[in-house]
Amino acid sequence: MGEFALPRKSYLNLTYNGVDATDEFYSEAFEYMDFASGEADTISLTVNNQTGKWTNGFMPQDGDYINAQICTENWNYDGDNRSVACGQFDIDSFKATGFPSVVNLSGISIPIQSDFNVTAKNKNYSSTTVKSILAEICADAGIELVYEASDYSIEETEQSGSTDMAFAFDLCSDHNLAMKIYNNKLVIYDQTDYEKKDAAYTIDFSAMQKYSYSRIKTKLYDSVQIQYTNPDSDDTLTYYYCIPGADGRRTLFINEQVETYKEAEIKAKSRLLENIRGAISLSVTVKGDTKYIAAQNVNITGLGKLDGTYFIDSVTHQKNAKGVYTCRLELHLCVTHITFSETGTESTQEVFTGTTYTVKAGDCLWSIAREFYGNGAKYTLIFSANQDIIKDPSLIYPGQVLKIPAE
């Protein structure tokens, strides 16, 4: 680190409806919230209004938008100049207060002029893919689709009384896809792939101004079962997955509509990942820096057993009225040990249409086979159908969910 001879500062470069307005928008404070997925990015500016220009001729109109860029000069040493593009924001809120006379402008990355996040719709989709559905939604909203993930086939799905934005997010959530709205783009990516990337940087305990850690044991499942009975055919589709090396004693049970084995696998593992990602979280406040961006990985050190590689769910860049620039990072411990079988639009897996049984204390495969087949010697049928979780037919554990195939 070099010595500081030049002034160190942070500020915003802004354009208003495409025209440079940095001088007009000299902000006394700002807050930019950058989300990895699920929520729209937002920006809030506190602007001096001593001359009254903001409450007279310069008052924002419907459809106005701003583009913002956070800049720092001589930040860690002389000549260390950086910036981060925050994207485009439709002006959503305007407030004026006095005295002193200031205005607060808030913007959101969702295109307000479209019905993307306004109008609840009902629509059926069949014989299509996730990417095709999202492309249609984006075309209606007038935004660009950036799709950086495998595509998934959809036999049938229904948008029922939800906005396009809510439906798109639920669709992505069902397929372990993250969804970010940035700069008039809908960006889709595979979060598991992102969590497997190398950490972009390290944050040590010594650099933290504040931290808060949380671990919720009830979300730490080690297996998942999804089961759905088709009301027309009365066929039951069951999918069970246990994390390799786990004993399957903490099973997440799901009863949601699925049409194929592949769809069941994707939805079951996606729900399992949602829970585990929410189990171990960390909030860290550090000195502001434009390098902090949502959807990156960061190594946390100096916190002992809390150390690890974390995924950045959101970053709040904030400069207060005193000119202090900080970043608050919301993180979760990266989850990389749950894998999906070969993705894409085809699946060669068989649909399991039998029943299931949850192991109780005192059970063995012989007794379970005798209960279902009337003959304990047929335990090999159960063992063969459950070799993904049973490695030794003499060792089963309470809480395990076994598939019971037809004879």
Residue 349 domain flag: no
The low-confidence residues of the chain, meaning pLDDT below 50, are 1, 342-351
Same domain? For 55 and 126 the reply is: no
Residue 383 domain flag: yes
Beta-carbon contacts of residue 348 (< 8 Å; ≥ 6 apart): none
Q: Residue 343's pLDDT is what?
A: 43
Residue 343 domain flag: no
Same domain? For 364 and 329 the reply is: no
Q: What is the pLDDT of residues 257-305, one digit of tens each?
A: 888 888 888 899 999 999 999 999 999 999 999 999 999 999 999 999 9
Q: What total of structural domains would you count in the chain?
A: 4
CATH of the domain at 372: 3.10.350.10
Residue 246 domain flag: no
Give the predicted TM-score (pTM) of the model.
0.80
Neighbours of 328 (CB within 10 A): 19
Q: Residue 344's pLDDT is what?
A: 36
Residue 245 domain flag: no
Among 87, 108, 129, residue at a domain's last position:
108
The domain containing residue 91 runs over which residues?
Answer: 9-108
Alpha-carbon torsion 194, 195, 197, 198, what sign? positive
Assess contact for 286 and 327: CB atoms under 8 A: yes
Q: Residue 332's pLDDT is what?
A: 96
Of the candidates 49, 30, 12, the residue with the CA atom closest to the CA atom of residue 324: 30
Q: Residue 19's pLDDT is what?
A: 86
Assess contact for 252 and 295: CB atoms under 8 A: no
Q: What is the pLDDT of residues 169-181, one digit of tens each?
A: 999 999 999 999 8
Same domain? For 104 and 173 the reply is: no
DSSP string, 197-248: SPPSEEEEGGGEEEEEEEE-GGG--SEEEEEEE-TTT--EEEEEEE-TT---
Same domain? For 186 and 207 the reply is: no
Same domain? For 328 and 373 the reply is: no
Q: Residue 260's pLDDT is what?
A: 81
Q: Residue 341's pLDDT is what?
A: 67
Residue 384 domain flag: yes
Same domain? For 67 and 162 the reply is: no
Residue 254 domain flag: no
Same domain? For 327 and 201 the reply is: yes
Among 139, 158, 193, residue at a domain's last position:
193
Q: What is the pLDDT of residues 300-338, one digit of tens each?
A: 999 999 999 999 999 999 988 777 899 999 999 999 888
Residue 267 domain flag: no
